[in-house]
Each structure stands twice: as structure tokens, then as C-alpha cells.
Copies of this chain bind each other. A is one copy, B any other.
Amino acid sequence: MKAIVVGRGESRPRVIEKSRPEPGADEALVRTLRVGIDGTDHEVLSGNHGGFPEGTDHQVLGHEAVGVVEDPNGTDLATGDVVVPTVRRPPADGSNRYFDAGEPDMAPDGMYRERGIAGAHGFMAEYFTSPAEFLVPVPREFASHAFLVEPISNSEKAFELAYGSRSTFEWTPESAMVLGNGPLGLLTLAMLDERFDRTYCLGRRDRPDRTIDIIERLGATYVDSRETPVPAVADTHEPVDFVYEATGHAKHAFECVDALAPNGVAALLGIPEDWTFDVDGGRLHREFVLENKALVGSVNSSVPHFEAAKESLAAFPDWFLDELVTGVYSPDEVDAAFETGDDVIKTVVEFDSP
């Protein structure tokens, strides 16, 4: 079968022929429909994030997938079920309490592998196998866009943590800001649209721009960070109750404290490189305390977040999904699929038509 991989020492994806995997006990065989591409894939390519499966000279890419059960292999799934795989798997030395609790997203480093990212092959191949417990069935009518369930699930988890941190008092948030107008930022903005009266999305693009059009069509306000940096948002617009950081820009993790309204919370999802800079730590610390603010870091997601993500995906308007997905490519068009640029939002590799 065809698989899209990166080889050791390489930084470009390529197609190889690989033998179709055989499902083990409790595993189903899945025929891949579509696999989305995101920033993490590019980080895997650049060698900045994750690591190769042990004993291999290549890694199959891809962690945002949707497929069809080809062989249930004795699991509770049925042939033809449309499924979305979760990303984390137990480490080579076996399961642990995080997986036993159904919360692999909370497992610390060393206690998980991530398919397509760290220590395990991804889903960018004509077939993949997975334990049935890590395959989330989705309605057949979502087959085209269900590769978005994984990125959406990451935001569901971040929302859960953020709301949890505000659960001990009467929190009545009205405004939210997404930092970043990449695909995860836009997906999250569409999710927040239903929860908040007023939403903002921060980017650094000139008009005309496809992402700004989407932001505004969603009813949100575009904030150009070159004109209105994060700390100025409170004065220029309003202090916001919730900030969702999806830029990976380390200063945003600190600047967002200034953007928050009292009792507000910021969820951080970006994964920056080391970067040392000045902060007015005294003022940030003081504001944090006197205004009961909170910061939550969030990574990955588990089955309940995938379930929630199905609901969010179902609520998106068709135009939004049409605008978001800017390219559908065959495996042989892998170079085009991984191209980036201002006109590219979300691309997907299609192994079989949904």
C-alpha cells in the first residue's frame, strides 16, 4: 500500500510502498479515507517535535484521520463503520494508569507514544490498524470532514480545562479571543461563536485575506497584531473573559494576562522553542493574583473530547467547512498537499473517496 513518510535525516515527505498492516488482538483494520495536515506535521518534518518509531528508518506521518472499518477482527466495530482514531497509544513497555483511566491526554512524557508524531507510525497510508478502544465511530455523513474531529477535540479538552478552572464560582463569560488564524485558530473560533457573545481572532495578515474573510463571516472581529498587540486588546477592544492561544508565540503566553478580564482564563496550546525575553513579571504576578486570573496548558485529547468534537463539527455551517479546506490531494500529490502559504488554510490527503 501507499504510505506518506519522512525518512531519517529528511525534511520532506515522500510516498513509499509498504505492506498492509495486520491487525493484532483487539485491533481493527481501517481503510483510510482522509488525513489532514497541520503544524505538528511540519514540526515532525523539521525534526523539532516527536521522534521515530523504535527500530525504523522512517515514520508514517499523519494524526488527523478518518477511515472505514475494513476488518473489525472480532472487535465491537462493524465493517463499514466510519471511525476517527485518537492519537496517543501506550508506550512500548505497556499500559499505565493514564490509559487505564481513559485519560492518555494527561500522561506525562515517556508514558505515551503519539501516532504520526512520537514513536509510532501515523495514519497517512491506505490502511492502518488500531485497538478498537482508540477508534471513535462517527456518522457516515461526516466522513468528508471527520479528519477535523482530532484538531477540534484538542480545543474541547482545552475548553474543559479552562471551564474547570472557573467552576468554583459564578463565571459568566461574554467575550473570547483566539490568538492565531491558522486552521486550529479558525476551528476554535467557530466553536466559540456558539458560547460567547463577542469573539475576536488575532492574526498578522493584510486584507484581502481568506482567513480574515472567514473570521468576519463568523461574526468575529479581526485583530491585526501589528496594529493592536495582545496587551493593547483590552484598551482597543475590551478585556476578554477567555483567551485561546494557538500561535506558539511564547510572548503570547505572558501578554495574554493583560488581555484577560478579571476572573478570566487563558488556555495555552502552542509549543514554542526556547526563547528568553524580558517580562514585567512583578506586574503580571500582581494582576494574576488581584484579579483571580488563571492559565491552563493543554495538550492532546481523549475519547470524550472526540465525542464532544463530533457535536461541534456537526454544528459548523457548510460554508465554513468549504472555506476552511483549501485543498484535497491524492497521495501522489504529497508535495502540493504539504505546501504552505497565505492562500492555504487546511489541506488533506485523500486515500479513498469518503
Contact = CB atoms under 8 A, between A and B. Distances in A.
B272 A285 contact: yes
A281 to B, nearest CB: 4
Interface centre among A272, A293, A296 (most CB of B within 10 A): A296
Nearest to A300: B292
A255 B326 CA distance: 42
| Number of identical protomers | 2
A279 B282 contact: no
Contacts of A275: 280-283
Interface string A219-254: 000000000000000000000000000000011011
A283 to B, nearest CB: 5
Contacts of A42: none
A165 B170 contact: no
A167 interface: yes
Interface in A116-169: 160-161, 163-169
A57 interface: no
Given A268-B285, A275-B280, A293-B296, 7 more contacts: A106-B292, A167-B167, A253-B285, A275-B282, A277-B279, A289-B298, A290-B297
Interface residues of A, number: 55
A78 interface: no
A90 B312 CA distance: 41
Given A161-B294, A279-B279, A292-B299, A286 B271 contact: yes
A152 to B, nearest CB: 17
B263 A106 contact: yes
A106 B169 CA distance: 8
Contact of A262 (B109, B160, B278): B109
Contacts of A295: 288, 294-295
A103 interface: yes
Contact of A292 (B161, B169, B270, B291): B161
A17 interface: no
A287 B105 CA distance: 14
Contacts of A254: 279, 281
A342 interface: no
Contacts of A291: 108-109, 297, 299
Contacts of A280: 274-276
7 closest cross-chain pairs (CB), A and B = A275-B282, A288-B297, A108-B262, A165-B165, A253-B285, A164-B168, A250-B282
22 contacts: A106-B262, A109-B262, A164-B165, A164-B167, A164-B168, A251-B281, A268-B285, A268-B289, A270-B285, A271-B290, A274-B280, A274-B282, A275-B282, A276-B278, A276-B279, A276-B280, A277-B279, A278-B278, A288-B297, A289-B297, A291-B297, A294-B296
A299 B290 contact: yes
Contacts of A272: 281-282, 285-286
Interface centre among A109, A273, A282, A293 (most CB of B within 10 A): A282
Nearest to A101: B170
B294 A294 contact: yes
A99 to B, nearest CB: 12
